[in-house]
Every structure is written in C-alpha cells, then in structure tokens.
C-alpha cells in the first residue's frame, strides 16, 4: 500500500498513461454523443440510479470524467470506497440530510459546528428534526426514527475535539457523519474510526488556494449511490473546473498542512503569553475539550487557532482592522493566513444564547494559519494586538 504523501500525488491519475497525459485533463462538455441508443438508455438509467460510471456519460449533470477522477483521488486519501463531490460544502451536507430522510426524520447533532451547518439543521429547512446534544447523551437520546448523528471535530470555531469512536459506539446502528474539514485527511481519518460519512468543505484545505468552492463526502459505495441519485436530480454536481483545481491542489496537501501546523504551534505558544490575549484555544496547548485525542484520533494539533482578545468585541474588531499581512476574511485552509470574528461573521446567524453556550464570545477570533514565514506572521499579529 502506498504511503499517504505518495497517494496525495498519484491518486486519481491511474489512467494517465493510457490517456497519454501528464497533467489532469479537464472535460468541459455538457453533453456527450449517443450513437448507440440502447447503450445510451442503459447508461442513463445506471447514472440516475447512482452508479459511479457508465459506458456513456450522457450529460454532465449525471457524470463528468474530471469530477469522477477527483472523487477517486479524495476517496483514496480518506480510505473509503467512494467520494461524491458537490458545488459546496453546504450542498454536500444538504444532500446527506436529504438522502437520510428515507430512514427517519430525527437527527442528533453535537455543537459546536460551522455556523451555517448549525443554522441549516436548527431551522428544519431539510424537513428534519435536529436535536442538539452532548456526546455523552447520544445513546440515551437515540430514537427509532433517528437517521443520523452529526459531529464536527475539531469543532468550528472553538477547536473542541469529539471522540469519534465513542460517538460511533453510542450511535449504535445510526450512521455518524463527521465534518473533518479542519483536520483534513492528513491529520484524521474518521472512516477508520467507524464514521459512515466523512464530509469536507473542499473549499478549504483540499483546494488550498482560495480559488474554488466545493464540497465532498467520502463513504462506502452503498451510501454513495443514493447521494449520486440525489445529486443528479437536484443538479448539485461540482463543476469540472473546480474539480480540476481540487485535483491540482491535492499533491501539496500534506506539505501545506505540515508547514501551516508548524507555524500554528509557534503562534499559539506566543499568543498564550501575550498580555492582550485572555485565552488561547488550540489542541496542541491542551486548552480545548478532549485535547488528549491529539496523538491518537488526530496525528497533529492542526493549523487553526482561536483566541480571546482582551477587551471583547471592540478589541477584536480593532485587531482585524490593523493586520497588514494577514487577511481579515472568512474561510480557512488557504496557503495564506486568514483571521475572522465568528460571532460577527460565520456564526452570526446563531442566537446569542447558543453562541454563549458554545464558547463563541464577542472577543473570540479564529486564525487560519498559512505557510508564510512564522516570524512575519508574528510581527503582524503582535503589532495589531499591541
């Protein structure tokens, strides 16, 4: 079996020799000639029915070779049979929720998680009843109509960790979805711990350069088939240009994560001793819930840091206005460093009580550390804090 870094470079390229290419080809066709009607009809039925491929792609909403190649590469990184790609991370979560409706309308959810994910679940927009629980309460709150358990680890934005294997055990025969965006396949593989769905906002680390919106879910083939059917019916297929950019970014994923993580470790350490910082939340410092999972569930503490600015909202807003090298913007996982204010931006749609109960205060800032020189990053951050 190939090691992870080699897989990151070569996955999804198995047919390149046959094709006679070195770089991933990009197929922008919206439709494909059907010269054999019987074959075309069989292909149409197969793709609408959720099969990964057919003799004829028929129409790009049903199948695109560039997207399929990228899906195979990401599935290889997560160690799953299949991967299904969508136009965004939120489209991916929505598809899984809709696909699970056939099994029940009740979903157990552990906070914190991405603000829009929280909003989607709490609002009932997908026709599901979301019950927000602590991990230790999952077994007791399970019902006959519970269709899914949703967790995010590390959690957005506090970086609290959730014990995936413990949640899977508590969920019993109810599938567990893990949003593993913050960890990436470099640091964590939830499927190896029993998770049935592994979700990534591929906009973040998998793309890695701030130029693509995408989402993927990795799972077994039997779970991928209904997701492909849902995608074909709703038109949520990832565009081939976005798939091309994702595939292009995968070979450097381990290098980007390792370099950014080294920077994050050092910045977290320095922030912890800064007089303008009240608290630092980083798994590598042991300052988040279940930090002991670093080294077992996760093979590293990651590239994101959250910290509390002394002075609350005004201090946080002032810092965002003063950084020069870092970009004050939402999103994360890019090669450059981004800083944002969860209470005012990504988690703004949550009510105040929910934000407070999950540790999202007015002074909390989330730092997505990039691959720049750590001394330049510190000089920028220190000056803005000062």
d(CA 249, CA 256) in angstroms, rounded, equals 10
Which H or E run contains 366? strand 364-368
Which H or E run contains 98? helix 89-100
- 133 close to 94: Cβ distance less than 8 angstroms: no
- 92 close to 218: Cβ distance less than 8 angstroms: no
Which H or E run contains 147? strand 146-152
Distances (CA, A) of 138 to 134, 141, 166, 171, 200: 7, 5, 10, 6, 23
Token duo for residue 76: 């290889």
Q: Mark whether 376 is an active-site residue.
A: no
| Active-site option among 59, 86, 114, 281 | 114
Token duo for residue 81: 């049979």
| Active-site option among 61, 142, 231, 355 | 61
CA 77-80-82 angle, 5° bins? 100
| Active-site option among 118, 160, 163, 179 | 179
| Active-site option among 204, 256, 259, 366 | 204
Q: Mark whether 59 is an active-site residue.
A: no
Q: Mark whether 179 is an active-site residue.
A: yes
Closest by CA to 380, choosing from 341, 316, 323, 338, is 323
Q: Mark whether 160 is an active-site residue.
A: no
- 325 close to 335: Cβ distance less than 8 angstroms: no
Q: Which residues are catalytic?
A: 61, 114, 179, 204
């Amino acid at each position: 079996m190939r090691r992870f870094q080699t897989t990151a470079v070569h996955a999804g390229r198995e047919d390149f020799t046959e094709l006679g290419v070195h770089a991933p080809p990009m197929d922008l066709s919206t439709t494909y000639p059907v010269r054999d009607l019987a074959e075309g009809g069989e292909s149409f039925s197969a793709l609408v029915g959720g099969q990964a491929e057919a003799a004829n792609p028929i129409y790009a909403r049903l199948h695109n070779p560039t997207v399929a190649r990228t899906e195979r590469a990401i599935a290889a990184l997560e160690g799953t049979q299949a991967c299904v790609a969508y136009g965004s991370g939120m489209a991916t979560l929505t598809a899984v929720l809709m696909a699970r409706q056939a099994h029940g309308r009740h979903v157990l959810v552990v906070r914190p998680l991405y603000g829009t994910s929280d909003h989607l679940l709490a609002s009932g927009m997908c026709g599901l009843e979301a019950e927000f629980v602590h991990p230790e309460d999952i077994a007791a709150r399970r019902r006959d109509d519970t269709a899914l358990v949703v967790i995010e680890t590390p959690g957005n934005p506090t970086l609290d960790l959730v014990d995936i294997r413990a949640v899977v055990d508590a969920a019993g025969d109810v599938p567990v979805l893990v949003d593993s965006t913050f960890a990436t396949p470099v640091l964590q593989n939830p499927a190896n711990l029993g998770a049935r769905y592994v979700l990534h906002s591929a906009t973040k680390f998998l793309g890695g350069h701030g130029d693509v919106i995408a989402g993927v879910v990795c799972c077994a083939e039997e779970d991928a088939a209904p997701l492909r059917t849902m995608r074909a019916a709703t038109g949520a297929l990832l565009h081939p240009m976005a798939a091309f950019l994702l595939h292009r970014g995968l070979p450097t994923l381990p290098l980007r994560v390792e370099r950014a993580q080294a920077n994050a470790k050092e910045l977290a350490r320095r922030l912890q001793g800064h007089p303008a910082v009240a608290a630092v939340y980083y798994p590598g410092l042991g300052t988040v819930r279940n930090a002991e999972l670093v080294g077992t569930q996760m093979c590293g503490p990651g590239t994101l840091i959250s910290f509390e600015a002394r002075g609350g909202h005004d201090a946080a807003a002032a810092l965002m206005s003063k950084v020069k090298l870092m970009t004050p913007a939402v999103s994360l996982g890019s090669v450059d460093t981004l800083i944002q204010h969860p209470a005012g931006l990504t988690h703004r749609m949550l009510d105040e009580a929910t934000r407070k109960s999950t540790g999202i205060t007015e002074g909390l800032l989330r730092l997505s550390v990039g691959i720049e020189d750590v001394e330049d990053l510190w000089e920028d951050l220190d000056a803005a804090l000062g």
